[in-house]
Amino acid sequence: MDLALSDTDTSSGFSARSDDENSRSPCATSPVMKKRRGRADGGPPVKRNRRVKANDRERNRMHSLNDALEILREVLPACPEETKMTKIETLRFAHNYIWALSETLRNADLEAERSFHRAEAPINPGSSSEAWSCSSSSSSSSSSSSSPVYCASSPGSPENYFQPQDAMFLRAFVPPVY
DNA sequence: TAGGCCATCTGGTCCT
DNA sequence: AGGACCAGATGGCCTA
């Protein structure tokens, strides 16, 4: 236990520590000082010790959160660029991806149903797998439930989570890779 | 240089 | 009492 407690210097005033976490966090490229707040003396030793342990737990908690986010990134369709999705992009994209997959399933069901009745009714051309087709703007009308990945305007659709300014916006046009 | 993203610290709150 | 969770604050890094 207390693996990071060795860095109790964390608590010692303004010395921003960090060899430890900076080395493990990909973003922190150099071991520079992180911010420090609160009493410089750290307060009463007992409280201080508790704080240090709480900090350590919080750090681990955030690390595990980031790990989960990383696993999520790996599950999502690969993107051509090597740029790493930001956290918010990852979440939005995941939301869209799930939405699009369920839309694909729904369309497949509809298609199956149509082909079942095909003997009696004329064929209705087009219409399948539109969830992944990103025709520029008309797509909002393609399905009743809502719009494809990038489309704006439809209740319950991902547009609330998916902002065009995100780099993810472009990735949403890429069909899923299995 | 401003803005975005991120890691960390911190104190508060809730739960066991 | 102590841990988990959360949100605010702070400062570093990177890019346009």
Amino acid A106: pLDDT: 94
Does the CB of A48 fall within 7 Å of any strand B atom? no
Nucleotide nearest to A165 (CA to C1'): B4
Nucleotide nearest to A25 (CA to C1'): B7
Among the residue ranges A45-54, A87-96, A100-109, the one predicted with the least confidence is A45-54
Residue A21 confidence (pLDDT) = 34
pLDDT tens, residue by residue, A56-101: 889 888 988 888 898 898 888 876 556 788 899 899 999 999 999 9
- Examine the pLDDT at A33 and tell me if it is beyond 70: no
Closest listed residue to residue A95, CA positions, set A163, A153, A142, A141: A163
- Report the distance separating Cα A119 and Cα A138, nearest Å: 30
The pTM (predicted TM-score) of the whole model is: 0.58
